[in-house]
């Protein structure tokens, strides 16, 4: 990592919309279709994702995509969404041991509030509600995590760029 500040960003429904599709099914407007190992996908980057990631890079933050999916597949999805060069690293279920928690960090994710997928992402960072206890876990989530609106491919009604001040404030407070 090049910096002491890291922004972990969820992949699916945060920076990119991913839909499973049937062979030959036309991709909705703005989506790109591709096939991998017999499964078809339609992907569309969140319109504000590239600007969000670029500003974080300009702020000298390391950007790590943190996903419950397989890293090779998520790299492919991000490349099809034209976001492949806008992050420093990608941590998925298959390489989760590669994460070392930096001095200052924030997680931006569309899932929170007791979601098992969200808790799984935090466990990838070595954070467990069971280990910390409810109160410390809740305080950690409040200090380090930002929930965004899920992006399913429609309108980007609450752009990620609107979270930049919150990301900067959380990093500065650590």
pLDDT score, position 9: 97
- Where do the structural domains in the chain lie, given as residue ranges? 5-16+46-172
Its CATH class, for the domain covering 5-16+46-172, is alpha beta
pLDDT tens per residue across span 6-26: 999 999 999 999 999 998 899
Q: Are 151 and 46 in contact (CB under 8 A)?
A: yes
pLDDT tens per residue across span 98-116: 778 888 999 999 987 667 7
Q: Are 14 and 150 in contact (CB under 8 A)?
A: yes
- What are the start-end ranges of the E strands in 22-147? 32-36, 39-45, 62-66, 89-91, 104-109, 145-147
pTM for the complete prediction?
0.92
Q: Which residues of the chain, if any, have pLDDT below 70?
A: 1, 113-114
H or E stretch including 137? helix 134-144
């Amino acid at each position: 990592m090049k910096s002491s500040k890291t922004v972990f960003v969820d992949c699916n429904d945060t920076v990119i919309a991913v839909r499973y599709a049937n062979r030959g099914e036309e991709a909705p407007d703005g989506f790109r279709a591709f096939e991998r190992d017999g499964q078809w996908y339609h992907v569309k980057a969140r319109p504000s994702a590239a600007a969000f990631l670029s500003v974080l890079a300009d702020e000298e933050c390391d950007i790590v995509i943190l996903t419950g999916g397989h890293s090779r597949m998520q790299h492919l999805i991000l490349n099809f969404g034209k976001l492949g060069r806008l992050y420093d690293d990608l941590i998925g279920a298959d390489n989760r041991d590669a994460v070392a928690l930096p001095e200052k960090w924030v997680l931006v994710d569309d899932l929170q509030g007791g979601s098992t997928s969200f808790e799984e992402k935090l466990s990838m960072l070595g954070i467990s509600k069971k280990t910390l206890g409810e109160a410390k876990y809740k305080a950690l989530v409040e200090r380090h995590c930002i929930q965004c609106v899920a992006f399913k491919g429609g309108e980007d009604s609450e752009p990620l760029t609107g979270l930049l001040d919150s990301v900067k404030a959380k990093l500065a407070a650590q």
